A and B are shown apart, each in its own frame.
Chain A
Amino acid sequence: SQTIHQWPATLVQPVGSPLSLECTVEGTSNPNLYWYRQAAGRGLQLLFYSVGIGQISSEVPQNLSASRPQDRQFILSSKKLLLSDSGFYLCAWTRQQGGGGYTFGSGTRLTVV
């Protein structure tokens, strides 16, 4: 069966520090991968998605970047965190684009102080 792993679960980082969140999927190949952010009491905002290795599409220009160095690995990064980067970050995958349910990871709660 397919599983998605996301870590760390919680993170407290000072303003200006770098960030690296990792997500891996097991049990499938060539998944479509996504990074979402959910601010407190707010909806899910799509940040990046990838349909293949090295292919990254950005939905929202911001302080963050994403990379997909391997088929089932998706990384969210920042060189210098801002206070506004605080939130709940979720990785997700789907097998097909259109008509497939999304499977989400357990999330990373990031607090920038």
Chain B
Amino acid sequence: SQKIEQNSEALNIQEGKTATLTCNYTNYSPAYLQWYRQDPGRGPVFLLLIRENEKEKRKERLKVTFDTTLKQSLFHITASQPADSATYLCALEGNYGQNFVFGPGTRLSVLP
């Protein structure tokens, strides 16, 4: 069955450093991979989507890579700030939206 793992349940980094979160999957060939941010008691907020034929995508301080051979996506936040502290979720999706599934999330804490 499909399985998604995110590298760690929690990650602490110092302000100003680059945060790197990992999403690994097995038994899946997704057409799309998405990243979301979720704050406590709130719904997830869509950040970035990357297609299977794309290697990298950037948006402001965010960068996502997608390696379909390794079955892995990396999510980077450069020049991290305490306001970046949240849980980050990756999600996989098939061509027509089938088999849409979220990973368990990584709770990022950026320490001042």
Residues of A within 8 A of B (CB): 6, 32, 42-44, 46, 88, 90, 92, 94, 96-107, 109
Contacts and interface: CB of A to CB of B under 8 A. Distances in A.
Contacts, number: 56
Contacts of A88: 41
A98 B46 contact: no
A66 B43 CA distance: 19
Candidate in A100, A101, A103 with the most chain B CB atoms within 10 angstroms:
A101
A32 B43 contact: no
B43 A98 contact: no
Contacts of B45: 104
Nearest to B97: A97
Nearest to B46: A101
Contacts of B91: 102
Contact of B94 (A98, A104, A105): A98
Given A43-B103, A96-B97, A98-B95, A109 B41 contact: yes
Given A43-B104, A43-B105, A44-B102, A97 B96 contact: yes
Nearest to A46: B100
Nearest to B103: A43
B93 interface: yes
22 contacts: A32-B97, A42-B104, A43-B89, A43-B105, A88-B41, A90-B43, A90-B44, A94-B97, A97-B98, A98-B32, A98-B98, A99-B31, A99-B49, A99-B51, A101-B49, A102-B44, A102-B91, A104-B43, A105-B43, A107-B42, A107-B43, A109-B41
A39 B7 CA distance: 20
A18 to B, nearest CB: 24
A100 B93 CA distance: 10
Interface string B14-28: 000000000000000
Contacts of A6: 43
A94 B51 CA distance: 17
Nearest to A99: B32
B65 interface: no
